[in-house]
Each structure stands twice: as C-alpha cells, then as structure tokens.
Amino acid sequence: MSARSTHDHYGSVAVALHWVSAAAILVLLPSGYLMAELEGGARTFAYRAHLALGGVVLVLTLARIAWRWWDDKPDPLPGIDGLHKLAFEANHVLLYLGLLGASVSGVALSIQSGLAESLFLGDGSIPANLWDFGPRMAHRVFTWSVAVLLLGHVGGVFLHQWTRSDTIARMGVRGVPTASHEQLRRQS
Ligand code: HEM
C-alpha cells in the first residue's frame, strides 16, 4: 500500500492515523466516565493515562487534518448523492471539530485546574471538584458530541458496507462481509 491515498483506497499514512486515533478514542470515552469512580493508585493511574492519551489524540487529529489537506483524495463512495452525501461529509467535518474541541477543552481543564501539573510534576492529587472550572462543561459537551457522531459514522459505514460496496477495505481492512453482486443487481 502506498503512503498516499489513491482513487480507490486510503494510503498507509491515512490508514495508520485513522486506526490509531480510533483505538485511542475507544479507550478515552469509557475511561473518561469511569476514572472518577476509582480510588487510590488506580485513580491516579487512570487520570494520568487519560491526560496522556488525550494529548496524543490532539496531536493525531492535527496531523490527520494536515495530512488530509495534503494527501490525494479517494473517489467519493459510489451510490451516495444528494442529502445522503451531505450527511456523510458533515459527519466527517463535525467529527474532526468534535475531536479538536474535546482534546483542547481537556487540555484547558487540566491546565486551569492544576491537574496536569499535579499529576505529572507534583504529588498526583486530583482537585476535589473539576466542575468548578469552565472547560469541564465544554469537555462534557464535546465528548458527548464525539460519541454521538461516532455512532453515526460507524453505523453509516456498516450500512454502506452491507448494502452497497466494500467501504471498510478502502480503510485497509479486507474480508468484512459486503453486499454481493447479486444483491446490487437486484437493487438497480
Ligand atoms: C478526543 C479526546 C478525548 C476524549 C474522547 C475524552 C473523553 C472524556 C470523557 C467521556 C470524559 C467524561 C465526561 C463527562 O463526565 O461528562 C472525560 C473527562 C475528562 N477528561 Fe477527557 N477526553 C479526551 C481528551 C482529553 C484531554 C486531551 C485531556 C487533558 C489533557 C482530558 C482530560 C479530562 C479530564 C480532566 C476529565 C474530567 C474527569 C473528572 O471530572 O473527574 N481529556 N474525557
């Protein structure tokens, strides 16, 4: 697979950025809700890991936006037009904005509350109420938006995979069941 994308699939750089970001986000979403319920060393470890991985997602998202701008674009998915196409594109743009908002608000919250300094340079204590700081609410809104947009993204991709064409193969994963030629012939 070439580094740059071609007309029918994403290149290795876009594929690697996509799957590493996806794995990190799938860890960040549940850990964000669960870490406040933990106690002692596990709690400190979970907060440290969340902040570090969140920082990685910020860098990866910026790298993805820069690479997407520079890289060649695969052809639009076949069989998508009008409102469907608009929804698909809007989902992508909003996901990027949501990820940027989630990671920037996380960084702002951690700096403003002194959490980052305490976890990485201090005694590891966690402020009693992070809701005293403005970016806490922004982080909730952005992370919820990311969760909802991700459901739409994954749902849309699988729907297309099963009813139209091998969409997931474009992102480097082969062998996921897709609509057969027979099904497509009956649809047309
Ligand atoms: C896209 C990246 C990120 C995702 C998906 C994410 C996800 C989450 C989620 C789901 C929550 C719980 C939200 C809630 O209770 O309403 C949370 C809380 C939190 N996140 Fe993130 N996060 C991300 C990036 C970051 C970054 C970059 C930092 C800091 C460097 C950070 C620091 C925090 C903090 C301090 C909390 C608050 C925990 C508490 O209230 O005790 N997050 N995150």
| Residue spans per domain, the chain | 12-178
Largest alpha-carbon pair distance within the chain? 65
Q: Which of ligand 1's atoms lies nearest the C-alpha of 116?
A: 30
pLDDT of residue 36: 93
Q: Evaluate: CB of 130 within 6 angstroms of ligand 1.
A: yes
pLDDT of residue 180: 64
From 56, 139, 140, 142, mutation site for ligand 1 pocket: most ligand atoms within 8 A of C-beta: 139
Give every CB contact of residue 38 below 8 A, 6+ residues apart in sequence. 46
Distances (CA, A) of 61 to 4, 24, 26, 119: 18, 11, 15, 24
pLDDT of residue 105: 98
pLDDT mean by block of 10 residues, the chain; 188 residues: 93 98 98 95 97 98 97 87 89 97 98 98 95 97 98 94 91 88 58
Q: pTM score, two decimals?
A: 0.93
Encode the chain in three state secondary structure.
CCCCCCCCCCCHHHHHHHHHHHHHHHHHHHHHHHHHHCCHHHHHHHHHHHHHHHHHHHHHHHHHHHHHHHCCCCCCCCCCCHHHHHHHHHHHHHHHHHHHHHHHHHHHHHHHCCHHHHHHHCCCCCCCCHHHCCHHHHHHHHHHHHHHHHHHHHHHHHHHHHHCCCCHHHHCCCCCCCCCHHHHHHHC
Between the CA of 147 and the centroid of ligand 1 the distance, in Å, is 12
The CATH number of 12-178, from 1.20.950, 1.10.3230, 2.40.160, 3.30.1150, is: 1.20.950
pLDDT of residue 184: 56
Residue nearest to atom 11 of ligand 1 (CA): 32
pLDDT of residue 165: 87
Between the CA of 29 and the centroid of ligand 1 the distance, in Å, is 8
Q: Evaluate: CB of 102 within 6 angstroms of ligand 1.
A: yes
pLDDT of residue 82: 85
Q: Evaluate: CB of 103 within 6 angstroms of ligand 1.
A: yes
